[in-house]
Structure 1
Amino acid sequence: MQNRQHKIAFIVPYFGKLPNYFNLWLKSAKMNPQVDVFFFTDNEEPQGLSKNIHWVKTTFADVKARAQSLIEFPIVLDQPYKLVDYKPLYGAMFQDYISDYDWWAYGDIDTIWGNLELILKRTEDEYDKILELGHLTLIRNNERMNSLWHNKVEGAWTYKDAFKSDFIYHFDEGGGMSFIAKKSGCKIYSEGPGQMNFADVCPFTSQFELSYDNGDGKLPHVFTWRNGVLTGYWAKANKVECKEYAYVHLQKRKMQIVVDDVASENGFLIVPNKFLPLGKKDITSSFIESQHSEAVSEVKNEQFVKRLINHLKFLKFKAKGRKRHIPLNGNEVYFGIEEAKY
């Protein structure tokens, strides 16, 4: 393979239609040249990719075969979304691409990156693992950490649980890898509530409220992206406060793009349902409030049978977790902000 230019490899297998704001994600990734992105996909390569984006044309079947080669039983991996459970294997699955890197990372592209150095500076320390959540987790690239997913510990799902089922176990997060790493004696850099340098937008409300309180009271936010710097703004008692974030996670959001490609080069606004031109206006409390006045969330009306099947799978998952004392709210238990729920 090519010589390593950067010490961190971000691995993204992605199949199917890309997010409509993927071009904006690419812009944000370009501004973090210390990270090499390996994009394994069946999508056609966009023109003008930055040097740190490595586009690898492949098939879902090939990625599944890579995972299967590491597992001693037939795995269940029939849909691309199920790859979420296989993220902890990426270091081993794609070692032929990343063998020269010091760190590898798994994460999501329903994000916009700011200056990732807010988090990546910790790679200079003697950590084995950095962060817990599936939208960005870094793993030191060595044999011990690349096989960590294979460990079995009390109070956590195992790879056998996750890979024998089509149910999404979120094995990459709390209840899975977070507790496996902690109980395996790994040296971990964590950012819990009050310390997070990332903005994880709650998917269950139309507003840009955050899932965790970082001193902002989880109040509704708007964001600006300016030349690679991501800033979140919120209003408290008619006073605007702000914080720089390493990235924002826009999970399960349908976003409209109301900014053209040229204008977005140097910056754009991110509000609950849109990407807007940045402009020169100050971010005021009235502006923030105005962006959260309309309901922007959509509730998908799934077929009754499909919902019933998913509910029955969840009940089975919940019963298994209760029996083995594995919390449903794994991330919250890991962060120490909730009692375990089974």
Structure 2
Amino acid sequence: MKKRLCFVIPYFGKLPNYFPLFLKSCEANPKFNWIVFTDDDGNYDYPDNVLKVKMTFKECQTLVKSKFEFHVALEKPYKLCDLKPMYGYIFEEYLKEFNFWGHCDVDTIMGNLDKWLSEEFLERYDKLFCLGHMTIYRNSFANNRVFMHRLKDKLSYKDVLSNERIMWFDEEWNNDYNINRIFLDTGKKVFKEDLSLNISYSYNNFVRGKYVGKDNTTMPFGFEIEQMKKAIYIWDQGNLFRIYSEKGKLKKEHFLYMHLQNRPMKMNFSLLYVDRFEVIPDEFIPCRENTITNDNIDGLCICKSWLVQKLFCQRLIRRIKSFFV
């Protein structure tokens, strides 16, 4: 019997400092698998359901180029973002024992995947989700080659592979030729709802940006930015949720995973040995209270992050330096 789902992650260079917490959240999902292709020699404790495959970026380039009969402009690892929808084809030799495959980012913390991604639910779709930080595909010969489909008289994948710059082929963004449009054009069954806790990079606090589609909002790129919530974000024995106050009542909301968008985060390694931890806007910390109440939630929601100001200063410094180059 084939296994349910395997996520493919090629990552070259130094993995994020909180990668061990990512692995911890993977380990809490034993019915799912991950394969990490990397040249990072860090001494990480990979759980049984996460396979590390030692690979250099040059070896990855060679593998990718062997799959196509035309020039592939894969000069830097970041360009791999555009190739995510092609992983089922590129890495097919590693995926034979799985019914579904997917890609996900490592600047994430997994929630309880089995809560949503049951075998019965997955079998309804050929593709799930519309964003690059997690997408899932049915693992079949034909489905893994849908990215080659001609859309509006255009073979987008050839343009993507021949161009060094990022073209957002892997997700719904500022383009009309991404993989999601191609799957819809072929009549494939696509699950489009956003189940992620996708943290916006434009605020010091945690603010969720939710993809709802360009047809359902006037906001740019089809994303709605929620009103800032007075919330506590918790990972508890594989479950990822937030507790927030609304009109004097506490509410609890679960998520498939949390995407931190490369937000700088501090982490104490002692968290690898506890069952619960909090995620605050610039750090992973031990849970401060066993129970969240209306009496203590205000004191727990204090934000000490200066992310937006730091980003502004970095942009300003780069701009000033550019005048002297």
Q: Secondary structure at the match of 2:3?
A: coil
Look up the SS of the partner of 1:18 in the other structure: coil
**Per the alignment, do residues 144 and 288 of structure 1 end up closer, same or farther by CA in structure 2, a change over 3 Å counting?**
farther
Amino acid paired to 2:3: H
Contact 2:210 2:225 survives alignment (8 Å): no
Distance 1:111 1:30 in 2: 14
Contact 2:148 2:155 in 1 (8 A): no
The superposition leaves residues 5-34 of structure 1 with CA deviations (integer Å, 9 ceiling, x where unpaired) of 732111000011111111100000001111
Matched, 1:233 2:231: no
Q: Give the structure-2-normalised TM-score.
A: 0.83
Structure 1: 4+ residue segments shifted above 6 A: 213-216, 305-308
Mark the CA change 1:155 to 1:278 in structure 2 (over 3 Å): closer, same or farther. Answer: farther
CA, structure 1 residues 224+307, in 2 after alignment: closer, same or farther (shift >3 Å)? farther
* CA displacement at 1:123 relative to structure 2: 4.4
Q: Distance in 2 between matches of 1:17 and 1:40?
A: 12
Q: Hey, what's the Cα distance between the residues in 2 that align with 1:306 and 1:167?
A: 23
Aligned to 1:320: none
**Per the alignment, do residues 207 and 155 of structure 1 end up closer, same or farther by CA in structure 2, a change over 3 Å counting?**
farther
- For 1:207, the equivalent position in structure 2 comes to 205
Q: Aligned Cα RMSD in Å?
A: 2.7
Partner of 1:243: 253
Counterpart selection for 1:289 from 301, 314, 323: 301
Give yes or no for contact 2:36–2:50 (8 Å, CA) kept in 1.
yes
Matched, 1:180 2:177: no
Please state how far the C-alpha of 1:49 moved relative to its aligned partner: 2.2
What does residue 114 of structure 1 align with?
111
Are 1:90 and 2:101 counterparts? no
Tell me, in whole angstroms, the C-alpha distance in 1 between the residues paired with 2:246 and 2:74: 46
Gaps of 5+ in 1: 309-342
- Contact 1:231-1:242 at 8 Å conserved across structures: yes
| Cα distance, 1:93 vs structure 2 | 0.9
- SS of the equivalent of 1:75 reads coil
Contact preservation (8 Å) 2:282, 2:305: no
1:224/1:232 contact within 8 Å kept: yes
**Which aligned pairs between 1:1-342 and structure 2 lie closer than 5 A?**
6-44=3-41, 46-121=43-118, 123-154=121-152, 158-174=156-172, 175=175, 176-191=178-193, 196-212=194-210, 217-220=226-229, 221-258=231-268, 260-263=270-273, 265-283=274-292, 284-290=296-302, 292=303, 294-297=305-308, 298-299=310-311, 300-301=314-315, 303-304=318-319
Q: Hey, which of these two has a bigger chunk of strand by percent?
A: 2
What are the ranges of 5 or more consecutive residues in structure 2 without an aligned counterpart? 213-223
Aligned to 2:210, the other structure's residue is in SS state: coil
Per the TM alignment, residue 304 of structure 1 is displaced from its structure 2 partner at its CA by 4.3
Tell me if the contact between 2:98 and 2:139 (Cα under 8 Å) persists in the aligned partners: yes
Q: What is the rounded CA distance, in whole Å, between the counterparts of 1:41 and 1:56 in structure 2? A: 6
Q: Aligned pair in 2 of structure 1 residues 25, 307: CA closer, same or farther (>3 Å)? A: farther
CA distance in 2, matches of 1:238, 1:307: 50
Following superposition, the deviation at residue 96 of structure 1 comes to 1.0
Deviation at 1:257? 1.3
Aligned with 1:260: secondary structure? Answer: helix
TM-score by length of 1: 0.80
The sequence identity of aligned pairs, in percent, is: 29
Q: 1:155 to 1:236 in 2, by over 3 A?
A: farther
User: How far 1:275 moved relative to its partner?
Assistant: 0.4
Alignment partners' CA distance in 1, 2:71 and 2:122: 39
What secondary structure is seen at the aligned counterpart in 2 of 1:143? coil
Q: Could you tell me whether the CA contact under 8 Å between 1:240 and 1:285 is conserved in 2?
A: no
User: Structure 1 CA distance, aligned partners of 2:265 and 2:206?
Assistant: 12
Count the aligned residue pairs. Answer: 299
Q: Distance in 1 between matches of 2:10 and 2:126?
A: 23
Contact 1:103–1:141 (8 Å) recurs in 2: yes
Q: Tell me, yes or no, if the aligned pair for 1:219 and 1:234 is still in contact at 8 Å.
A: no
Structure 2 counterpart SS, 1:102: strand
1:72 deviates by 2.6
